[in-house]
Structure 1
Amino acid sequence: MMSPERFEAERASSWGELDALVRKAGNKPEKLGAAGVRRLGELYRAAAADLAFARRRFPGDPLLTRLEPLVLRGRAAVYGRSGTRQSLWQFVSRGYWQRLAERPWLIFAAWALLLGPGLLGALWGLLDPPTAAGLMPAQFQGAADPPVEGRDYDAAEASAFSASVMFNNIQVTLIAFAGGIAFGAFTVWALVFNGLILGVIAGLAIGAGNGVAFLRLVSSHGPLEFSCIIVGGIAGLRMGWALIRPGTLRRSTSLRREALPAVEMAAGTIPWLVLCGVLEGFATGPELPVWLQASLGFSLAALFWTLVYVRGSRGTSRAGTAPRASRAASPAALR
């Protein structure tokens, strides 16, 4: 029968090596080099397994008081983050985009939840305008009414409508992000309902002969705002999926593990939402040609998703690395 003394004797060399690597790494595991980081991960996982075994077999034994601090320090070394300045720069230049690219299936899921109802809503607005109009919030009712012949929306109408669209999309982005803590239900609802509403508005506007005017009001900032909504949806779906499929972890632990990446994505999206506000204020209305407004909006959205691919998914593959928190969360990356 295994005794605490025999168990400690058999595992002491591995624990000693882990202790030495943790001390050498300090708060910068990269000092260990690629092989050292992999070895650190292996030893930490082994020590964590030893601690779980010891807690079951030797509860209350003094062995635990020696092993638990080692595992905690090992966890801090594996999961810790580097200095603030370096982390901030890495996050702005690459980390944010890698966060978005970590779960490609969530990107497709979020777009499907937004665009699918959007297309159905547009068809509904075209084929059955009276019924579809009843779904629209009051601030969007003007989209169904064409301007008087010979004029476009006036400045007040344009400003009020485009601002309503922008603030609605920002609100939906926040709801999609926060809705993840409700097992993703509110995230799915926010994406589906907002896609349906925007589709109905577009369908009503086109059916009323107001398509060009509608395009003028939303094209400069709308595509980028939709991208921000998708980011909020990805963040919310990450948290929701962590609660639905926690694996071997407790749901609270699984949620905490996904909450940090989700918050990072939300924080990294703020500058893009600010840019949307600038575009809404200075690139909306009759002053600019509609082709220029549409080109600006779709070009910015294309730039955003190109960065996700180049700085995120392809950048990760080319460098052979991922953000540090992601590597720590994935044992496979430390093998």
Structure 2
Amino acid sequence: MKQEQFVARHQGEWEALEAWLQQRAHLRARKRARVAADPALPADAEFPQRYRRLCQQLALARQRGYSPQLVERLQQLMQRGHTLLYRTPAFRWRSVLEFLFADFPHLVRSQATVMWVALALFAVPLVASFVLVQLHPDLIHLLMDSARVAQMERMYDPSSPNLGRDSGTDWMMFGYYIMNNISIGLRTFASGLLAGVGTVIVLLFNGISIGAVAGHLQHVGHGDPFWRFVVGHGAFELTAIVIAGGAGLQLGMRLVAPGRKRRIDALVEGGRIGARLCLGIAAMLLVAAFIEAFWSSIAAVPAWGKYSVAAVLWSLVGLWLWRGGRGEAQHAD
């Protein structure tokens, strides 16, 4: 085929592709402002196919020895298309917000059974150990050593200027809380690989420990500082631990009882669900660490102020997990 025939056959396609690439560059320069698209230009979904045809046409032009000007034109067009097709996608805050406020709570509700089991494994030991330590105060020394008990009493001493910590700036403790909380959440989830037994143990241990500490501090008269400290950030932190437990349990169940799927396929599916849940858990624990560092430790705020804020936080978390993403899910159905 002569060059003139080759150009005549594909000239309209090249011009349309050039105009489309120019429009995309214009939109990107204006941060994708609303600009009316030309209906004569190729749609975004058609671009990969048009790009592949352009590469084939460039290869033919080189193979047949067409003019350097034509080859250079197709080469530049191909490079512009390659840059657009394979560039790193821009970070989209809208996608992040959609995941946190819709996809994540919907995903939590889709795993309702394991979430309720995780809540029971965490809450029942917590309440039981709290009551038992009230009835048998010496039981606290069977659950933790004397040095740890003394430290907890100092941290929640009613005369302390800060609640919940001996020392440290707010920002330093913020970093510490982030690492500590997220490590607990990830450990709770990852333990599900031990056929779910690891997650069960972690939930039971945390429930017993927290309940025993609360019961002891209540018994020795340090209950007011303790409750004023934990009641706020607990809405995010304790809920995140339960969700992490549910994520670990569903992973363990897919390992133990894969159903009709191959065990490896069921485990991969559980890992994907758990990974998405962990993203939301990490966000919750980040919020919890911020509240714990900059709000919970303020001793000057009276009890009614702490409890009022806590009531709002617990209500928001409950409403978020209950209602988040319902409209989108119904629309999708």
Fold shared, TM-score > 0.5 on shorter chain: yes
Closer, same or farther in 2 for the Cα pair 1:276/1:147, shift >3 Å? closer
Match of 1:133 among 134, 141, 150: 141
CA distance, structure 2, for counterparts of residue 124 and residue 84 of structure 1: 51
Residue equivalent to 1:19: none
Q: Which residue in 2 is equivalent to 1:101?
A: 109
Residue of structure 2 in register with 1:200 after alignment: 212
Aligned to 2:161: 154
Tell me which of 290, 312, 317 is aligned to 1:304: 317
Aligned-pair CA distance for 1:215: 0.9
Q: Is the 8 A contact 2:181 2:237 kept in 1?
A: yes
Q: Quick one: which of 114, 123, 137 aligns to 1:115?
A: 123
- 2:287 corresponds to: 275
What CA distance in whole angstroms lies between the structure 2 residues aligned with 1:166 and 1:84? 23
Counting only pairs closer than 5 Å after superposition, residues 214-225 of structure 1 correspond to structure 2 as: 214-225=226-237
**Distance in 2 between residues matched to 1:298 and 1:157, nearest whole Å:** 20
1:293 is matched with 306
Distance in structure 2 (CA, Å) of the matches to 1:195 and 1:262: 22
Summarize deviations over 1:188-221 as a string: whole Å, max 9, x none.
Answer: 1111110011000111111111110111221221
Structure (1 or 2) with the larger CA radius of gyration: 2
> Are 1:255 and 2:257 matched, yes or no?
no
For structure 1, list consecutive stretches of 5 or more residues without a partner in the other structure.
1-25, 28-82, 322-335
Once superposed, what is the RMSD of the aligned Cα atoms? 3.1
Task: Pick closer, same or farther for the CA change 1:300–1:131 going to 2, 3 Å.
Answer: same
TM-score, length-normalised on structure 2? 0.63
Structure-2 separation of matches of 1:120 and 1:252:
38
Matched residue SS, 1:134:
helix
Within 2, Cα distance between the matches of 1:237 and 1:169?
19
CA–CA separation in structure 2 for the residues paired with 1:157 and 1:309: 31
Q: Rate the CA distance shift 1:166–1:288 in 2: closer, same or farther, 3 A.
A: farther
The CA deviation at 1:155 is 2.7
Alignment of 1:1-335 (within 5 A): 88=96, 90-136=98-144, 138-139=147-148, 141-144=150-153, 151-155=158-162, 158-159=165-166, 169-283=181-295, 284-312=297-325, 314-315=326-327, 318-321=330-333
- Cα separation, 1, equivalents of 2:142 and 2:129: 12
Q: What count of residue pairs does the alignment treat as equivalent?
A: 239
* CA shift for structure 1 position 289: 1.6
Asked whether the equivalents of residues 172 and 191 of structure 1 are also in contact (C-alpha less than 8 Å), the reply is no
2:178/2:285 contact within 8 Å kept: no
Distance apart, 1:140 and its partner CA: 5.1
Distance 1:217 1:274, change over 3 A: same
Is the Cα contact below 8 Å between 1:114 and 1:191 reproduced in 2? yes
Contact conserved, 2:177 with 2:293, CA < 8 A, in 1? Answer: no
How far 1:147 moved relative to its partner?
A: 7.1
Deviation at 1:303, TM superposition (A): 1.2
Structure 1 residues 173 and 188: alpha-carbon distance in aligned structure 2, compared to 1, 3 A threshold: same
Alignment-mate amino acid for residue 143 of structure 1: M
Contact 1:220–1:279, Cα closer than 8 Å, also in 2: yes
Cα–Cα, structure 1 residues 290 and 108, in superposed 2: closer, same or farther, change >3 Å? Answer: same
Which string of whole-angstrom CA distances, capped at 9 and with x for unpartnered residues, describes residues 73-130 of structure 1?
A: xxxxxxxxxx985865542331111110102112211110110000111012111111
Structure 1 CA distance for aligned equivalents of residues 277 and 314 of structure 2 = 17
Inter-partner Cα distance in structure 1 for 2:107 and 2:96: 14
Give how far 1:302 is off.
2.4
Write out per-residue CA displacement over residues 292-323 of structure 1, whole angstroms, 9 at most, x where no aligned residue. Answer: 223323422321221121124x44663354xx
Q: Percent identity?
A: 26
- Any idea what the Cα deviations from partners look like across 1:142-195, whole Å, max 9, x if unmatched? 3357977xx533338635699688865543322111111111111111111100
Residue type matched to 1:259 in 2?
Answer: G
CA distance in 2, matches of 1:146, 1:87: 41
The aligned amino acid for 2:159 is D
Normalised TM-score (structure 1) = 0.63
Q: Is the 8 A contact 1:159 1:285 kept in 2?
A: no
Q: Is the 8 A contact 1:309 1:315 kept in 2?
A: no
**Which digits, 9 at most, give the CA deviation of each residue in 1:245-267, with x for residues without a partner?**
10011211101011111101101
